[in-house]
């Protein structure tokens, strides 16, 4: 019968399901513990202005040094951290740590921190978290940039808009991340108080040869110019891509061509080296890669 068949099928899948569930539960328990044990750390990837290629800041990118699985990239644990709500304390740690690290950089260098939609969903808690991180670092709000993905805007209620406005009033800069991968992007740019748009690296990858990518990048940069927004191109890996972005008057770039996400000490050496070159009478006033 169908019932027997169903039960049979159920039995077949059970062991696999259990294994997956157990792995997930184990990971969740480990995630809970990781903050206390100090298993998280941040890497910093340089952001450069064009056309001068000066380092104007760093994006903080989260890593988990798992005792058994080794170094874990955010895509492998952030979804679970979001489902369990653990992203809230983890995100708070990221904010504090990023703002603390920024204190060692020259004053013109900003730090960019990625926010989860889950953090954005509780506006008052997020505002407290940002306030606490800024107070602990003693740095001005204008040096902190918050990156929010377009998909986070899908839950773009009046409350989210209100939270973004408050952050903006506080002087924090707002960037829309992975632009072009979500929906109704153009409308959001008008409605939400962003300072910057980061063009997703999928549009940068096939520059300059792919006509569609070229057209999209051209349109986004043009629109942002009209709206007075800074544009950062993500995932710049080649001189050819850079040349095309420069032809389009893109304002900022980020990618392996200029620097991978790197430990705090290396990021610091990068900006300190540039400051030393400046004192030696070098042409560059800031870090150049
Ligand atoms: P994202 O914010 O778009 O970060 C850029 C990602 O692109 C990073 O991956 C970075 O390592 C990678 N990348 C940078 N330059 C290049 C390049 O030239 N070529 C290629 N192929 N990739 C490049 P990562 O570090 O694995 O982070 C993945 C995503 O995880 C981030 O995407 C961000 O959405 C999320 N994430 C990272 N840290 C945090 C965090 O602290 N909190 C939250 N909520 N999300 C985070
Ligand atoms: Mg980002
Ligand atoms: Mg991005
Ligand atoms: Mg991304």
94 lines ligand 1 (CB under 6 A): yes
What distance in Å separates the CA atoms of residue 223 and residue 227, rounded to the nearest whole number?
A: 6
Q: Report whether 215 contacts 256 (CB < 8 A).
A: no
180 lines ligand 1 (CB under 6 A): no
What distance in Å separates the CA atoms of residue 89 and residue 40, rounded to the nearest whole number?
A: 12
- pLDDT single digits (tens) 148-171: 987 777 666 788 899 999 999 999
46 lines ligand 1 (CB under 6 A): no
Atom of ligand 1 nearest to the CA of 74: 30
Least confident of 5-9, 169-173, 252-256, 269-273: 5-9
Atom 17, ligand 1: which residue's CA is nearest?
235
Strand partners, 230: 196
Following CA atoms 220, 226, 230, 232 in sequence, which dihedral angle do they give, to the nearest 10 degrees? 10
- pLDDT single digits (tens) 49-100: 999 999 999 999 999 999 999 999 999 999 999 999 999 999 999 999 999 9
Least confident of 13-17, 66-70, 147-151, 280-284: 280-284
Q: Report whether 88 contacts 119 (CB < 8 A).
A: yes
**3's tokens:** 């019932």
Q: Report whether 195 contacts 229 (CB < 8 A).
A: yes
**27's tokens:** 């990971």
Its ipTM equals 0.98
Indicate the top mutation candidate among 114, 252, 253, 260 to test ligand 1's pocket, ranked by most ligand atoms within 8 A of CB.
114
178 lines ligand 1 (CB under 6 A): yes
């Amino acid at each position: 019968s169908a019932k027997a068949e169903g039960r049979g099928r159920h039995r077949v899948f059970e062991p696999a399901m259990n294994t997956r569930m157990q792995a997930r539960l184990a990971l969740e328990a480990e995630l809970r513990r990781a903050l206390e044990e100090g298993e998280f750390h941040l890497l910093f990837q340089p952001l450069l202005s064009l056309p001068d290629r000066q380092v104007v800041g760093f994006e903080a990118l989260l890593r988990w040094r798992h005792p058994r699985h080794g170094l874990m990239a955010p895509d492998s644990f952030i979804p679970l951290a979001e489902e369990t709500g653990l992203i809230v304390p983890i995100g708070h740690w990221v904010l504090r740590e990023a703002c603390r690290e920024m204190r060692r950089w020259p004053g013109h260098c900003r730090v960019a921190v990625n926010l989860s939609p889950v953090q954005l969903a509780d506006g008052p808690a997020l505002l407290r978290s940002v306030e606490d991180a800024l107070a602990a670092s003693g740095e001005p709000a204008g040096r902190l940039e918050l990156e929010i993905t377009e998909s986070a805007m899908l839950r773009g209620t009046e409350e989210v808009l209100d939270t973004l406005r408050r952050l903006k009033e506080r002087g924090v800069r707002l960037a829309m991340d992975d632009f072009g991968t979500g929906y109704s992007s153009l409308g959001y740019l008008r409605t939400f108080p962003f300072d910057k748009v980061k063009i997703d690296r999928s549009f940068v990858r096939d520059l300059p040869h792919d006509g569609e990518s070229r057209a999209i990048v051209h349109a986004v940069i043009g629109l942002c110019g009209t709206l007075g927004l800074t544009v950062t191109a993500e995932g710049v890996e080649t001189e050819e891509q850079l040349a095309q972005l420069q032809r389009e008057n893109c304002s900022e770039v980020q990618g392996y061509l200029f620097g991978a996400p790197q430990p705090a000490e290396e990021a610091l050496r990068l900006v300190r080296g540039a400051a030393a070159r400046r004192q030696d009478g070098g042409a560059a006033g800031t870090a150049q890669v």
